[in-house]
């Protein structure tokens, strides 16, 4: 039974201390802010009744840590997930938006769905995207679910009553077209070709290519085992997979395996003098550093291959800021100094990760079923593949749609002379360009590795500089 221990007389009035037995059978006491004994007895009976309901399972009983603050729970939850690939990104978001926010200072017993809803509304007003807001909502929800499973918190997950923000359907970024792949591979220096060819034919991520070991490549069975991602002993999806080696990719991998001095298929590429500058360098047998600027290598190769949107002609005289845009790389002179302007190619803002999108687009272009694309890209959920790459399918379903025949050949020829032959010839020519040019790409050491440099001299373009960011941004070609 609850009891009244004593009365304390303070400057602002009397206070009553009540005592009761909680749901775990322990005697608890609390100092109330009521002024009369009758009000103190009422509070004591309410606390005792709540404990009885909790013991009967009619009301959730909070664990000892359940009354902690939301920020403490989020930090505890993140430490459990520190081994996950996205842990570093999650911690950045937590520290930036949640751990120091007023919402993070609330105790779990005080947390309401309206608090989370208002917090997300504030973040939306700050300009955060719907996807980022859903990530923040997901952090809180997953932390509460983990606390319930671990017994840290026995209350409800209030985030269940907060609806996710609708996210606009994402569209895949840029990617290489079928006729652009041979041109890019030809323009790359020899040491980069196996890496980029593997990325295009397999859809491996940069971190997975960096971690690919020689023991993961089985040329006899024509299989690649994807087991690791960067320094982690697991992939982004948390599972190992086996993908096939395309026949046209096999020679590239053979060359990479034969020339790599260490255990990695694509080891680190040292910049000149990087050790002398005191920069930590994995060495030619170590894993490729994560800051190697493969994106720059790709864009420079596109520039040498002529896959440009135009050229920016700049004056290289110190202090001169003159620049002019043009569609060609013809020689131009600075109107201020009369010096020759240097034409810099402007390529599409393509990323190295977009080579993964290139893999999907090439497979769909070849009329490979979406289920096979899912297996190659190693998506667990086929709906993800369809959601991300489904919009590419209509572009490559023309042949299937063309199965519907409404006009006979003779009638079509009368209505639009030579129409069908023209369409068929264009499709055949495009396919021949892709297959023929790729087959003729030289893979051996006596290849056209210097083709890019010679082409740069003939067109007046700056020779390729494929380096790493920071202090190692020296020339790698």
SS3 221: coil
Strand stretches in 327-383, DSSP E: 342-346
Question: Alpha-carbon distance 202 to 196, whole Å?
Answer: 10
Number of domains in the chain: 3
Instruction: Give me the CATH number covering residue 72.
Output: 1.10.150.130
Q: Tens digit of pLDDT per residue, the chain (477 long)? A: 566 666 666 666 677 788 888 766 778 777 777 778 888 888 888 888 877 876 666 666 555 444 578 998 999 898 888 777 677 788 889 999 999 999 999 888 888 999 999 999 999 999 999 999 999 999 999 999 998 888 787 778 999 999 999 987 666 668 898 889 999 999 999 999 999 999 999 999 999 999 999 999 999 999 999 988 887 777 776 678 899 999 999 999 999 999 999 899 999 876 655 543 445 677 777 899 888 889 999 999 999 999 999 999 999 888 898 989 999 889 999 998 888 998 999 999 899 999 998 998 888 888 788 888 888 888 877 777 777 776 665 555 555 566 666 766 676 566 765 655 555 565 556 555 555 555 554 444 444 433 443 344 333 333 333 333 333 333 344
Residue where a domain stops, chosen among 35, 55, 75: 55
Q: What is the per-residue pLDDT for 448?
A: 41
User: Which stretches within 166-224 are classed as H helix?
Assistant: 181-187, 193-202, 206-211
Among candidate residues 348, 283, 333, the one with its CA nearest the CA of residue 460: 333
Most distant CA atoms of the chain, gap in Å: 107
Residue 145 parent element (H or E): helix 130-150
The reply to whether 283 and 429 lie within a common domain is: yes
274 in the same domain as 210: yes
Same domain (yes/no): 206, 304: yes
**256 lies in some domain:** yes
* Same domain, residue pair 233 and 91: no
What pLDDT is stored for residue 25 in this prediction?
72
Judge if 125 and 35 occupy the same domain: no
Q: Which two tokens stand for residue 108?
A: 């779990």
Domain that holds residue 145: 65-161
Query: Phi and psi of 5, rounded to 5°?
Result: -75, -60
CB 242 within 8 A of CB 225: yes
Answer yes or no: is 383 within a domain.
Answer: no
Cβ–Cβ < 8 Å for 359, 377: yes
Q: Are 378 and 237 in contact (CB under 8 A)?
A: yes
Q: Cα-flanking dihedrals φ and ψ of residue 137, to 5°? A: -60, -40
457-463 — which CB contacts under 8 Å span 24+ positions? 459/329, 459/343, 460/329, 460/331, 460/342, 460/343, 461/303, 461/304, 461/329, 461/343, 461/344, 461/345, 462/342, 462/344
285 with 418, same domain? yes
* Local structure of residue 176 (DSSP, 8 states): -
- Tell me, yes or no, whether 12 and 117 share the same domain: no
In whole angstroms, give the CA distance from residue 339 to residue 110.
71
Residues 221 and 277 both lie in one domain = yes
Residue 419 lies in a domain: yes
The predicted pLDDT at position 95 comes to 92
- Is 324 within a domain? no
In a domain, 117, yes or no: yes
Tokens 């105790």 sit on residue: 107
Would you say residue 467 lies in a domain? yes
* Separation of alpha carbons 439 and 431, rounded Å: 12
Query: Considering the domain boundaries, does residue 339 fall inside one?
Result: no
Indicate if 88 and 155 belong to the same structural domain: yes
Same domain, 283 and 194: yes
In this predicted structure, what is the pLDDT of residue 268? 86
Per-residue pLDDT at 476 = 44
| pLDDT in the model for residue 86 | 74
Are 12 and 156 found together in one domain? no
Please report, for the domain that includes residue 216, its CATH number. 1.10.443
pLDDT score, position 16: 79
Are 210 and 79 contained in the same domain?
Answer: no
Count, residues in the chain: 477
What is the rounded distance in angstroms from the CA atom of residue 266 to the CA atom of residue 196?
10
CA end-to-end distance (rounded Å), the chain: 83
Q: Give the pLDDT of residue 169.
A: 66
pLDDT of 474 reads: 39
Q: Is residue 333 part of a domain?
A: no
């Amino acid at each position: 039974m609850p009891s009244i221990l004593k009365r304390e007389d303070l400057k602002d009035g009397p206070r009553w201390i009540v005592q009761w037995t909680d749901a775990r059978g322990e005697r608890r006491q609390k100092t109330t802010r009521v002024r009369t004994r009758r009000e103190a007895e009422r509070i004591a009976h309410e606390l005792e009744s709540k404990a009885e309901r909790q013991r009967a399972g009619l009301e959730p009983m909070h664990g000892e840590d359940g009354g902690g603050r939301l920020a403490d729970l989020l930090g505890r939850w993140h430490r459990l997930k520190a081994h996950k690939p996205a842990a570093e990104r999650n911690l950045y978001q937590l520290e930036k938006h949640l751990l120091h926010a007023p919402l993070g200072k609330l105790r779990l017993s005080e947390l309401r769905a309206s608090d989370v809803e208002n917090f997300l509304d504030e973040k939306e007003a700050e300009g955060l995207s719907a996807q980022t807001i859903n990530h923040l909502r997901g952090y809180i929800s997953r932390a509460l679910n983990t606390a319930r499973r671990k017994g840290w918190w026995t209350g409800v997950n209030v985030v269940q009553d907060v609806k996710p923000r609708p996210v606009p359907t994402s569209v895949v970024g840029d990617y290489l077209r079928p006729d652009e792949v041979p041109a890019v591979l030809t323009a790359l220096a020899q040491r980069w070709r196996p890496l980029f060819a593997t990325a295009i034919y397999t859809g491996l991520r940069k971190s997975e290519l960096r971690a690919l070991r020689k023991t993961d490549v089985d040329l006899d069975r024509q299989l690649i085992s994807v087991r690791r991602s960067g320094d982690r002993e697991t992939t982004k999806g948390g599972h190992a997979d086996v993908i096939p080696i395309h026949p046209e990719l096999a020679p590239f991998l053979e060359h990479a395996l034969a020339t790599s001095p260490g255990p990695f298929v694509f080891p680190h590429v040292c910049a000149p003098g990087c050790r002398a500058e005191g920069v930590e360098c994995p060495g030619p047998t170590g894993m490729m550093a994560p800051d190697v600027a493969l994106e720059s290598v790709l864009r420079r190769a596109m520039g040498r291959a002529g896959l440009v949107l135009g050229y920016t002609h700049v004056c290289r005289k110190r202090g001169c800021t003159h620049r002019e845009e043009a569609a060609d790389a013809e020689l131009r002179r600075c109107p201020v100094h009369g010096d020759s302007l240097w034409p810099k190619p402007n390529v599409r803002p393509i990323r190295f990760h977009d080579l993964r999108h290139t893999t999907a687009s090439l497979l769909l272009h070849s009329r490979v079923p979406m289920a096979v694309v899912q297996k190659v890209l190693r998506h667990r959920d086929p709906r993800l593949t369809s959601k991300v790459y489904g919009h590419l399918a209509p572009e490559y379903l023309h042949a299937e749609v063309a199965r519907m025949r409404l006009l006979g050949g003779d009638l079509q020829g009368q209505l639009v002379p030579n129409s069908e032959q023209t369409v068929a010839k264009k499709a055949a020519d495009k396919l021949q360009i892709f297959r023929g040019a790729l087959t003729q790409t030289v893979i051996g050491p006596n290849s056209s590795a210097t083709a890019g440099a010679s082409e740069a001299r003939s067109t007046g373009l700056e020779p390729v500089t494929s380096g790493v960011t920071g202090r190692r941004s020296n020339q790698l070609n």
